[in-house]
Amino acid sequence: MAAKETGSVAQAPACLCVLCGLPAAGKSTLARRVLSTAAQLGWRATVVPYDDLIPEDAFRTRVVEESVKLQEMHTEWKSHRQAVLQCLEQFLKNPKVFAELPSSSQINSTAWEKCIQALQQPEGLKSDRAPLLFMLDDNFYYPSMRYEVCQLARKYSLGFCQVYLQCDVESCISRNQNRSQPIPTEVILDMVKRLEFPNPQKNSWEMSSISLNTTDDLSESDIQRVMELISSALRNPLSPAEDNTEQKEADRLKCATSVVHQADQACRRLISEAMKTARENHVPSEHMKSLAAQLNESKATFLHDLRKQFLQEVPFSQEEEIDVERVVKRAVDIFDDRKKEILSRIINDIV
């Protein structure tokens, strides 16, 4: 599709475009390129940068591992993400309010004002004819995170699409280290384990998605593909009509989140017990550090596999209640065996 053709598309009032991928995969660079192209077409476009909108303290909760406070911090971080969508929804409902935030907002007001001010209509263009484009810039590593955006688009009959930036982890780490404020490398490595990229074969609502290889520089062809995707989304806005299949997938995601959360809490208790046992057996400090690292790594892998297995293999229907407690107990028993193996190995190594 030529650029002139994309510029004439305006069947939906707006499009929500999700940019997802590892940190330093190139999402911000892509957003800048798309903004420039959109401006040439007379579109009103802006980036919704989660890193700027959400306070830094909330992002740090993703790497803090103090078991007592972890769930409280995770909940706080999730509430900040929801606050971003609430502000976006308020603007969609009443654009004339512009940068005003909800009274209970938890996001950075200055960053939000900058985001929305970018949508002010260029002089000489009619605001009711120019498409609105919101590019949501975040990692969006779980489908449930992306689905919340899809639901918002469906509620207001907007276009919805996703761009997955596929970049090898070595390049992401290298780029991150060259940033003025790099994030810890372990955060990127942890996200590699968590990342579930868009999968239209499994999730019907992810049909309007493309993948870009961003290990190398973005090409003009890449930008054209993104513009064509957005144009198609604008031509085909989501319907607010209820979709049972989509609801079923949403319920499965919600249930999976509950299972993984409860399993996570149980695993943390088992790890605490293992560390206590090690101390009682007078395990040296250097071995204690190794034990903690091995247990936490095993837990992260275990929870990732549990979530993936639950989403892909557990039979599920809206009419059938999942016995979450039973699923969690069976899963945690498996991790308990792994914990005992690791603990036994550490203790035997020092005997």
Residues paired with 253 in a beta bridge: none
pLDDT tens column, 108-165: 888 888 888 888 755 444 455 678 999 999 999 888 889 999 999 999 999 999 999 9
pLDDT tens digit sequence for 268-315:
999 999 999 989 888 888 888 889 999 999 998 888 888 887 776 555
- Per residue in 328-350, pLDDT (tens digit) is 888 888 888 989 999 888 888 77
Question: Would you give the end-to-end CA distance of the chain in angstroms?
Answer: 70
Stronger pLDDT, 248 or 163, i.e. the higher one: 163
Domain spans, the chain: 3-235, 244-350
Largest Cα span, the chain: 80
pLDDT reported for residue 328 = 82
Instruction: Report the chain's C-alpha Rg in angstroms.
Output: 23
Identity at 110, one-letter amino acid code: T
d(CA 125, CA 76): 41
Handedness of CA 135, 63, 106, 93 (dihedral sign): positive
- Token readout for 325 is 């407690």
d(CA 182, CA 307) in angstroms, rounded, equals 29
d(CA 8, CA 42): 9
Question: How many residues would you count in the chain?
Answer: 351
Spell out the residues 6+ positions from residue 253 whose beta carbon is closer than 8 angstroms to its own.
142, 143, 144, 147, 311
Percent of the chain having pLDDT more than 70? 79
pTM above 0.75, yes or no: no
Specify the pLDDT at position 68. 35
Neighbours of 333 (CB within 10 A): 10
Q: According to CATH, what is the number of the domain 3-235?
A: 3.40.50.300
Q: In the prediction, which pLDDT does 261 show?
A: 86
pLDDT at 88 over 60: yes
Integer Cα distance of 336 and 324 in angstroms: 18
Cα–Cα distances in angstroms (integers) from residue 165 to residues 59, 169, 179, in the given order: 21, 12, 19
Q: Is the pLDDT of residue 67 over 60?
A: no
Tell me what pLDDT residue 98 has. 55
The DSSP string of 18-68 is EEEESTTSSHHHHHHHHHHHHHHTT-EEEEEEHHHHS-HHHHHTTT---HH
Average pLDDT score over the chain: 81
Instruction: Write out pLDDT tens, residues 29-64.
Output: 999 999 999 999 989 999 999 988 887 665 544 444
Average pLDDT over residues 200-204: 87
23: tokens are: 């940190």
> Comparing 182 with 129, which gets the higher pLDDT?
182
Residue 78 CB neighbour total at 10 angstroms: 14
Mean pLDDT of 310-325: 57
Predicted confidence at residue 100, as pLDDT, reads 60
